[in-house]
Amino acid sequence: MPKIDLDAIAQTNRTGYPAPYDAEVQGRLYRRLAPATGLTAFGVSHVVLKPGAWSSQRHWHVGEDEFLVMVAGEAVLVDDEGEHVLRPGDCAAFPMNDGNGHHVQNRSGEDCVFVVVGAGENKGGDYSDIDMRFTADDGYVHKDGRPYETRRVP
> In sequence order, what DSSP letters do the residues of 137-151 get, joined into one string?
TSEEE-TTSPEEEEE
Please, what is the minimum distance in Å from the beta carbon of residue 15 to a second copy? 22
Q: Which residue number, 69 or 141, has a Cβ lying nearer to a second copy?
A: 69
Stretch that binds a second copy, among 14-22, 35-43, 127-135, 143-151 (CB under 8 A): 35-43
Stretch that binds a second copy, among 15-23, 114-122, 126-134, 143-151 (CB under 8 A): 114-122
d(CA 21, CA 6): 28
Q: Which residue number, 25 or 48, has a Cβ lying nearer to a second copy?
A: 48
d(CA 12, CA 63): 26
Q: Which residues contact 114 (CB under 8 A, 6 or more apart)?
A: 47, 49, 55, 68, 69, 70, 71, 75, 86, 104
| Contact set with a second copy (CB under 8 A) | 1-4, 6, 33-34, 37-42, 44, 46, 64-65, 67, 69, 71-72, 77, 79, 81, 84, 86, 88-96, 98, 100, 102, 113, 115, 117-120
